[in-house]
Structure 1
Amino acid sequence: MRIRSVIGVDRDLNDSQTMTPMIDIVFLLLVFFICVATDQVVEMSLPTELASGDVSAQETQPQDSWVTEIRLHLYPGPGDSGTVVEMNSRILTSFPEVKSTLQALADVSRESPVLLNVEDDVPLGDLVQVYDACRSAEFELINFVMDRPAAKYGM
C-alpha cells in the first residue's frame, strides 16, 4: 500500500514559487546592464607630442598685493558743516571727492574690503550716498563696522 506524502506536493509548489522572483530579478538586471552598456562613450587615445629634454619648474617671485582695507569713518562735522568723511586718516571735504577717490582705489584693486564706520548722528542720506559711491566703484566687499554694547554682554 502506498501512502501519499503531503510533504512532496508542498515542496514542488514552494520550489516554483521561490524561483519566480529570482528569475524576475535576473531579467531586470539584464535589462539594466543592457541599457547602461549602450550609453557608454568610446574612449580613444589622442595623439600628443611631449616636449623632449629637461623638465624643470621656474621659480616665481611673490608679487606684492595691492589689497588693503579702506576704512571710511563718517561722523557729524562741527556745527552745521554736515558729515565729515575720513578715509584711512585722511579727511575728504566733499562727496564728489569721496566718489573720485573711491573710483581711483577701485581701479587699483576691487578686492580691497571697504569698512564703513558710521556714527549715530550721521544722516541716513549721507550714509546711503557713501554706500552708493562704493557700489558704483564696484568694490567686491563692503562691510559696516559696529561697536558691541558693553552693558548688554556684561563687558
Structure 2
Amino acid sequence: MLNQKQDLDLPMTPMIDVVFQLIIFFLCTTRFTPLEQVLPTPLDESGGSRRVESPPPEVVNLTEVVIKLADGQPVRITLNGRQVSDFDELGMTLQAVARVRVDVPVVIDAGFAVPMQDVVQAYDLCRKVGFQKIHLAAPPRP
C-alpha cells in the first residue's frame, strides 16, 4: 500500500527551471533605451539639420517672470513690464520663455478687483508650458 505522503509530493525542480527561463526571456527582450521616435529632434522637412538660434540674452538672464493683471474689461496684462494684448499672446510668450528657461520663478501679481478666473487662467497657462515655480502675489487691501 502507498503512503499518502508520497502521493502529494510534487517535483518542484521543473517548475523552478521554468520560472528562471521566463526571467531570462523577459530580461533579454526588455528594451532599456527610450524609443527614438519619442525624442524631439531639431530636423527640418528636407531631412537636414536646422540651425538652432541662440536665445536673446534678456531671456537667458531672467531672474523671474512677473505677470501683472490689472482690472479692466478685458483684463490688462503685462509681462515683465511689456503690455500683452490677451491670454493667447501671453501663452505664446510664456511658451517662448519656457523653451529657454523653465526653471525661472513666475510671479502672478493680480489687482484686488481682478476676477479669480483670470488669475486661474494665467496660472494654468504657466503650468501648461512647463513652469514649476509659480507664485501668487496678493495686493494690500485698500
User: TM-score normalized by structure 1?
Assistant: 0.50
CA RMSD of aligned residues (A): 2.0
Aligned to 2:94: 102
Shift of 1:66: 3.7
Superposed, 1:69-148 pairs within 5 Å as 69-77=64-72, 81-147=73-139
Residue type of the partner of 1:69? E
Larger CA Rg, structure 1 vs 2: 1
**Identical-residue share of aligned pairs (%):** 32
Q: Is the contact made by 1:66 and 1:108 (CA closer than 8 Å) also made in structure 2?
A: no
Q: CA deviation at 1:126?
A: 1.0
SS at match of 1:91: strand
Give the aligned length: 84
Per-residue deviation, 1:67: 4.3
Unaligned runs of 5+ in 2: 1-56
SS of structure 2 residue aligned to 1:82: coil
Q: TM-score, normalising length from structure 2?
A: 0.54
Q: Give CA-to-partner distance per residue, 1:10-51, whole Å, 9 cap, x none.
A: xxxxxxxxxxxxxxxxxxxxxxxxxxxxxxxxxxxxxxxxxx
